[in-house]
């Protein structure tokens, strides 16, 4: 049996406005914000607003919508950061690499010959995150 969704997870708290974030996009069904421990400049997380633990329990329409927004963010990020490519990642359950149990898609701008930083290896400076937020919002306009 699958584990139940925990409304106390950090992303649920961000959605409720209980924790701050660097929001780059929001609509009635999705939310996108910068990862505070980015693996690359502009590393953004796209989440559905509907409660879903991961890909194993999300409603198909909510997952499809989140992926449409991930594509929108990817296109904006490629331009905003002059990236050579984009990596999308989605992890489900601890054995699959999931750490926060609210469905999220990582959108990471990539640069030829530059490896991703290891996960959770370094917290980015607030000023850098603010600048990256500004660049992504401008690219989405």
pTM listed for this prediction: 0.96
Query: Count H helices, E strands: the chain?
Result: 3, 5
Q: Which residues contact 40 (CB under 8 A, 6 or more apart)?
A: 108, 109, 110, 111, 114, 116, 117
State the fold for domain 10-140.
Answer: HIT family, subunit A (3.30.428)
Per-residue pLDDT in tens (0 to 9) along the chain, 141 residues: 668 999 999 999 999 999 999 999 999 999 999 999 999 999 999 999 999 999 999 999 999 999 999 999 999 999 999 999 999 999 999 999 999 999 999 999 999 999 999 999 999 999 999 999 999 999 999
Could you give the CA distance from residue 46 to residue 56 in angstroms, rounded to a whole number?
A: 17
Q: What's the pLDDT at 1?
A: 62
For 51, half-sphere exposure in the C-beta direction (CA atoms, 13 angstrom radius) is 11
Query: One of 43, 102, 104, 132 is an active-site residue; which one?
Result: 104
Is 102 one of the catalytic residues?
A: no
Judge contact between 125 and 77, C-beta under 8 A.
Answer: no
Judge contact between 56 and 93, C-beta under 8 A.
Answer: yes
CB atoms within 10 A of CB 54: 21
């Amino acid at each position: 049996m699958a584990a139940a969704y925990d409304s106390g997870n950090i992303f649920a708290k961000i959605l409720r406005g209980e924790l701050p974030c660097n929001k780059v996009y929001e609509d009635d069904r999705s939310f996108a914000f910068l990862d505070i421990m980015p693996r690359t400049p502009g590393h953004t997380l796209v989440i559905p607003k509907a409660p879903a633990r991961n890909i194993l329990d999300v409603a198909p329409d909510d997952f499809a919508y989140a992926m449409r927004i991930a594509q929108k963010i990817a296109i904006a990020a490629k331009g905003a950061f002059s990236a050579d490519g984009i990596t999308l990642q989605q992890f489900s359950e601890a054995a699959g690499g999931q750490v926060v149990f609210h469905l999220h898609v990582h959108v990471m701008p990539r640069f030829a010959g530059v490896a991703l930083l290891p996960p959770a290896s370094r917290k980015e400076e607030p000023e850098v995150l603010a600048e990256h937020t500004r660049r992504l919002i401008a690219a989405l306009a």
